[in-house]
Amino acid sequence: MNLNLKRPLAFFDLETTGVNVSADRIVEISILKVLPDGSEEIKTLKLNPQMPIPVESSLFHGIYDNDVVDAPVFKDVAVEIAEFIGDADLAGYNSNKFDIPMLMEEFIRADVDFTLDGRHFVDVQNIFHQMEQRTLKAAYRFYCDNSLDNAHSAEADVRATYEVLKSQLDRYQNVEWEDKSGKKSVPVVNDVQALHQFTNLNRPVDFAGRMVFNENGEEIFSFGKHKGRLVEEVFAIEPSYYSWMKQGDFPLYTKKCLDRVWARFRAKQKEQRAAAPKAASAAKPQQASTTGTNRPEGNRTPQPKRKSGPITEDMLKNLQEKFKK
C-alpha cells in the first residue's frame, strides 16, 4: 500500500552513544524521505560525537570510535540535515520518546533553528505497541513475514520501519480499537494526521515527556511534585521552579519549551500590572474644584501688597520734624 501523503514524510533513525538525551550524541543518522508521488530520497551520515562511544553501545549498533574518527561533527552538517528534511512530517520507531528529542538537542547545540511547529509525528512503535506489543525485529517478522538482517544498522532499521508502517495500514484497515475510556474507533488509516493523533496519545509538549497538553490544550507538568498542575499556575505560586528547571539536567528542547511558556506567563503579568493603575484611577473619586467662590478659606490667594510711591523732600522734612528732639 502506498502512503497517502499531502507533503513529504521523513522516516529517520539515530544510532547514538547512549540513551541520555541531554548527555549523549548521535553517531549515525539515516533519513528516508517519502514524497507525495511515492518517490523516495535517502541520506545516511556517520557523525563524530566528540566523545568516546561506550563499548556497550558499540556492541549494540556496531559503530566504534575508529569508524567515526574522521566523520564530520553534527554542527558541520546540521544545516544540510535540516534542509534535507525540509517541511516534511516526521516518522520513526520510538521516535517521539527518543529520536525527535535527541535530534532537537543536536540542532539546538548547533544553533540551527529547526522547528517542530506545524508538523505531524508518526511513531510506528506506538501503533505496534498499542495493537500488538512487540519490538521492531518482531514487528518486521510479524507484519512483513520476513527476518530483519543487519538489525540496529540505521539504514536497515529505517527501511524496516517504513515497510512495517505500510503493512500496518494493510492489516488494520477497518480494524476497531478501544481506548481506556471505552471509546471505539478505527484509528489506523492511510492519513498522516490521523496517525499523528493515534501515535501521540499523551500529547507531549517537549517530547521528553516533562510537559504534556491537557484536554484544553494547556501545558501541565507530568512529573515531580507539581505533576498534573498547569505550568503557568506553578510559575505564579513558585516562580523559582522555572529557575530550578533551567539550571537542572533537563533536555535543551524541554528548556526551550519551558522558556516559551515562561515568556507568555511574564507577558500576561506585565499586561495585568499595566492595567491595574488604570482601573484604580477610574475607581478613585474626583477632587472638589478649587476655583471660584467655593475656594476654602485657607486656600485663598493672598492679595498683593500695595506699592509705595517715590520719597519726596516734603516727606523727609515731616520725618525730621516728627523725630526732632
Task: Provide the pLDDT for residue 284.
Answer: 66
Give this prediction's pTM: 0.68
- Report residue 129's pLDDT band, with 50, 70 and 90 as the boundaries: confident
Domain with CATH 3.30.420.10 in the chain: 9-201
Q: For position 325, what pLDDT does the model report?
A: 46
Task: Look at 25 and 304; give whichever has higher pLDDT.
Answer: 25
Each residue's pLDDT tens digit, 84-113:
999 999 999 999 999 999 999 999 999 999
2 contact partners, CB below 8 Å, separation of at least 6: 38, 166
CATH class (in words) of the domain with range 9-201: alpha beta
Least confident of 35-39, 46-50, 175-179: 175-179
Write out pLDDT tens, residues 134-192. 788 889 988 999 888 777 789 999 999 999 999 999 999 999 998 877 889 999 999 99
Give me the mean pLDDT over the 219-247 stretch. Answer: 94
In which region does residue 62 sit, left (phi positive, over 0), alpha (psi from -120 to 50) or beta (all else)? left
Q: pLDDT tens for residues 245-304?
A: 999 999 999 999 999 999 999 999 999 888 877 777 776 665 544 444 455 444 555 555
Neighbours of 45 (CB within 10 A): 18
